[in-house]
Amino acid sequence: MMRAFNYATILMVLCVFLVSGAHATDLSVDYLSGRWVIDAEDCSSPTSEFIEFNKNSTFVGNRNGTTEIVGFWVLKEDNLELHMVSSPASFHDLNKALAHFDGIYSYFKGRMLIFNLQEKSFEAYGVIGKEIKRASAVRCP
């Protein structure tokens, strides 16, 4: 009985620290606004993937100095909803067969669950189309 009480006490203490640490920063428009590097901590690399959230609820995604995705974003609690437009031709460096899609644009809706917010980083699980991805982001200066 005493052992169960000790385990319960330890679990409660851990939960207090984990919950308070999980929300070290609040998810808000001000928090997200700015330029973020995705899945890498090298803001100076031209080959890194970046996303820039503007306070007017627009965003731009680029890689290799080329804009690949543009759109609008909205926060709903811990969810980031993305409404975006992109052309498959933007990804011709990944698959040469996509180059012939130049001038053709498609709408995509995405939703990301944002967690582990830190002052200059966060993690997310996202659903875009039929894909589920996990990503991390680090704020660039």
Looking at residues 112-125, what average pLDDT do you find? Answer: 96
Residues 6+ apart with CB under 8 A from 52: 34, 35, 36, 59, 60, 61, 62
pLDDT, tens only, 48-91: 999 999 999 999 999 888 888 999 999 998 899 999 998 875 66
CATH number listed for the domain at residues 26-139: 2.40.128
d(CA 74, CA 59): 10
The pTM score is 0.74
Q: Where are the domains of the chain?
A: 26-139
pLDDT, tens only, 8-20: 333 333 333 334 3
Q: Where are the beta strands (DSSP E) in 1-141?
A: 34-38, 49-53, 58-63, 66-76, 79-86, 106-118, 121-128, 131-139
